[in-house]
Chain A
Amino acid sequence: MHTGWQFIVDAGVILLLLAGVSQFRALPSARRGNLAAALALLCGIAAVLFRNPPLEPGAVVIAVLAGSLAGWAVALRVDMVQIPAMVAFQHGAGGVAAFLVSFVELTRHAAALTGIARPAGILGLIVGAATFSGSMVASGKLAGRLASRPVVLRHHNALLLLLIGLMAALALTGGAGPVLWLSLLGLVLLSILLGVLFSARIGGADMPVLISFLNATAGAAAALCGILIQNRLLIACGATVAASGSLLTYFMCRAMNRSLVRVFAGSLPGAPAAQPAPEPVAPASGQDPFVRAAESLRDARSVIVVPGYGMAQAHAQLETVQLGEILARMGKQVRFAVHPVAGRMPGHMHVLLAEAGVDPDTLLDITEINSDFSSTDVALIVGACDVVNPAAITQPGTPISGMPILNAHEARHAVVCNLDRRPGYSGVENSLYAEPATIFLEGDAKVTLRRLFETLQPPASAA
């Protein structure tokens, strides 16, 4: 398997893939990067078919066509709001493929497997199967089919340890024939259970970490499968994906100021179950908040829009971008500030706003824009709570203390278009809502923003 030209082909495919990945460092070239990755994988497939032609080409072609067409159709139809659920589902599909291949190889060549191949294959089986079930739970939560609350069983940690113990015992049994089959099958089932238990206790707003982590494990499963079958392309591609997923996991944890272990332990540390009920009183000023919000926007020279998961839930991305356009036409500087963990996956808000036609140049990162809030007239918050909660800075000992936030409270006014005044996922009261400079427009963001347009541009004067 080490003839020179095979090595060259593999190296070429890997370099093409890495070249594709490198194109993602800038927007204009990213599309080319995706095409390069597609081409690299196509070359890999062609090389395999040429070297090891399938004995039953008909069945292979039908299976590949069926999968490809289904993938294509789903990819063209899926709504951008459902992207996180779709990506999580895809992680699961990758996990399935990895553990099936590992399973067949482990059972078929049991006697011939030497050295690291068997342990790597068994690990690949476990990681692949757990990625599959963990992703399905994550996808269900992200699609709203499962409750996004963390589900914590009694003795959750003990159960996980017991599962891992059982799996270790099964992995070490070895054997051949039916015994091997049964032990591997048991391993798959336990791994699936492990993935379910693992994902179940991770709540909605921690999904960006979970989905990134599953990205990494899907890659790791592919790499382990590659070690089992001694295929360089699988190892290299899987390793690249594992690197990418690990980095994103790290970025997400850093943006929440939480360790991976604390996210995966499910419960938010020290979040009291019952917070004092927020006072439902309307702001002291008796004036219609919409009129006040419209006034502050009209007077503003600069506006920073802060989107959050509430915008996705309300499907209000189009209205958000439209309001930005209206304000820009009125001569105001309009920019969008996106917190890394706003939404349900890394970059979620950017994709939604891009779909709604935002100018990518106005989408800014927390580090790029945070110092500008103090010189900004209006911070317009659309469905974001924890990521703009000043309690992260002012109050020690809360679950979000120390988390980097967008400094919306430093703007002259904050106009908040949130569903209600309840705390966000962290359970910490948002002290921004109580600031005198904050104008709270309660309700579904889509409806609220439309009403804000009308107040801003009365129909009579609308051009």
Chain B
Amino acid sequence: MADLALMLAVFGFAFLAGYLLIRGVPPMLHTPLMSMTNAISAVTILGALLLFSVESGAVSTALGLAALIMASFNLVGGLVITDRMLRMFRKKE
């Protein structure tokens, strides 16, 4: 039960903090914002890595590898494209 309360607290805190911070993001940066948060949702890579810390069957391993590939694609792709976009927003001299 303590676990459940802690998990709900973590979820609530992160949702509220995210909400308050993101409310102030100007519309100009909405695409990079979505692209970055999308990369953050690839945090499931941690879950995929944890799958490999214990003994498991062939199917589980195969699914775990697929999850790793997709999550790392999502993570790196999302962060790199966000950086590329943000570099384009340059002030004119």
**Interface, chain A (partner B; CB < 8 A):** 14, 17-18, 20-22, 24-27, 30-31, 33-35, 37-38, 41, 44-45, 48-49, 52-56, 59-60, 63-72, 74-76, 78, 80, 83, 86-87, 90-91, 93-94, 96-98, 100-101, 103-105, 107-108, 115-116, 211-212, 215, 218-219, 221-223, 225-227, 229-248, 251, 338, 340, 345-348, 350-351, 354-355, 357, 359-361, 363, 365
Contacts and interface: CB of A to CB of B under 8 A. Distances in A.
A93 B71 contact: yes
Contacts of A86: 77, 81
12 contacts: A14-B14, A60-B68, A71-B78, A97-B42, A211-B34, A222-B44, A229-B47, A239-B11, A240-B14, A240-B18, A243-B22, A338-B27
A253 to B, nearest CB: 14
B4 to A, nearest CB: 5
A14 B18 CA distance: 11
Nearest to B52: A54
A442 B55 CA distance: 66
A44 B43 contact: yes
B22 A235 contact: no
Contacts of A97: 42, 44-45, 47-48, 67-68, 70-71, 74
A98 B15 contact: no
Contacts of B13: 236, 239
B23 A247 contact: yes
A363 B18 CA distance: 25
A205 to B, nearest CB: 16
Contact of B46 (A45, A345, A354): A45
A71 B77 contact: yes
Contacts of A357: 90, 92
B75 A103 contact: no
A354 B86 CA distance: 9
**Interface core residue of B6, B36, B54 (most chain A CB under 10 Å):** B36
